[in-house]
């Protein structure tokens, strides 16, 4: 068993199995998620090493770079190995480093899907996510466009990002929703109700920013003692907690360095006791 596979698997929408511990490709770009990476060769090595480590789920977006992350994924991994799933997103435009603007205009979303297909070298995107719901356009138009793309065979499954339970329910009246990607980590759990809803409904939940543990992850912080007992880092423990938290949890930690990737992926093999899990839960 390769390292990542120790995290187990989850079948997105019941028919698309992925290894639960995935990889988020946002940090492959330049500073501010803008432009080319500082070390393009290392970015390629990271992606190839991720697959070697048993990671089968890679999450990206057209806005990462923009376009840079998707292009690197194709360069590193195309033709894709059997079982490798590349998920991407549309709905945010970029005007500079760390600048993000919502755009849910249906014609724009269709254009971005077509461009992502071309950049990734795919005939169908396995998971296409609405990066944000844009309040300037009816939800029916935005999710309805994704349903059209699904019916045309250009995307397999539809996902949402940064949504409430009410928004998920409204979207599900328009189209099947396979995954949700919200901010969630050991220290930031405002999406607890969304996670619980996803668990009840069998919807995959991707916690973005899974390692934003802040004070918890300092060398002398609350996670430090437990991490030492496991011979692990605080960040590895935070990932292990996420994997234990729910069977629908699909953590996608990102990095631009192979060494950090290997460290993150080793978290899949950490088994927390009930007491350790409860103690970590209380810290958050």
> Looking at 17-21, 73-77, 174-178, 186-190, which range is the least confident one?
186-190
pLDDT value at position 210?
A: 79
Checking if the pLDDT of 218 tops 80, the result is no
Checking if the pLDDT of 214 tops 80, the result is no
pLDDT value at position 64?
A: 98
Q: What is the overall mean pLDDT for the chain?
A: 95
Query: Going from the N-terminus, what domains does the chain have, and what CATH number goes with each?
Result: 3-214+241-271 (3.20.20.100)
- Whether 4 and 53 have beta carbons less than 8 Å apart is answered as yes
Checking if the pLDDT of 205 tops 90, the result is yes
Q: Largest alpha-carbon pair distance within the chain?
A: 54
pLDDT value at position 2?
A: 57
Annotated catalytic residue 64: yes
Q: What is the mean pLDDT of residues 112-134?
A: 98
Indicate which residue of 64, 80, 184, 197 is catalytic. Answer: 64
By C-alpha distance, which of 237, 263, 239, 259 is closest to 251?
A: 239
pLDDT value at position 227?
A: 85
- pTM for the whole thing? 0.95
């Amino acid at each position: 068993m390769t390292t990542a596979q120790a995290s187990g698997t989850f079948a997105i929408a019941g028919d698309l199995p992925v290894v639960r511990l995935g990889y988020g490709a946002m940090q492959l770009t330049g500073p501010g998620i803008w432009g080319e990476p500082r070390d393009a060769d290392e970015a390629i090595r990271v992606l190839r090493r991720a697959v070697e480590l048993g990671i089968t789920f890679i999450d990206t977006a057209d806005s990462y770079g923009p376009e840079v992350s998707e292009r690197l994924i194709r360069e590193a991994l195309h033709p894709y190995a059997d079982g490798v799933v590349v998920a991407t997103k549309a709905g945010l435009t970029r005007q500079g480093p760390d600048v993000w603007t919502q755009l849910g205009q249906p014609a724009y979303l269709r254009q971005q899907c077509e461009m992502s297909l071309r950049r990734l070298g795919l005939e169908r995107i396995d998971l296409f996510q609405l990066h944000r719901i844009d309040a300037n356009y009816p939800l029916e138009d935005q999710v309805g466009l994704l349903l059209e793309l699904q019916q045309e065979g250009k995307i397999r499954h539809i996902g949402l990002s940064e949504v409430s339970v009410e928004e998920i329910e409204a979207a599900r009246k328009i189209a099947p929703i396979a995954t949700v990607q919200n901010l969630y980590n050991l220290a930031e759990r405002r999406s607890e109700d969304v996670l619980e809803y996803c668990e009840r409904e069998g919807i995959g939940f991707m916690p973005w920013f899974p390692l934003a543990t802040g004070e918890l992850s300092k060398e002398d912080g609350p996670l430090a003692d437990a991490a030492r007992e496991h011979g692990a880092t605080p960040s590895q423990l935070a990932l292990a907690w996420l994997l234990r938290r729910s069977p629908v949890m699909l953590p996608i930690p990102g990095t631009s360095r192979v060494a950090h990737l290997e460290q993150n992926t080793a978290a899949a093999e950490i088994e927390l006791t009930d007491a350790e899990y409860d103690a970590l839960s209380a810290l958050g």
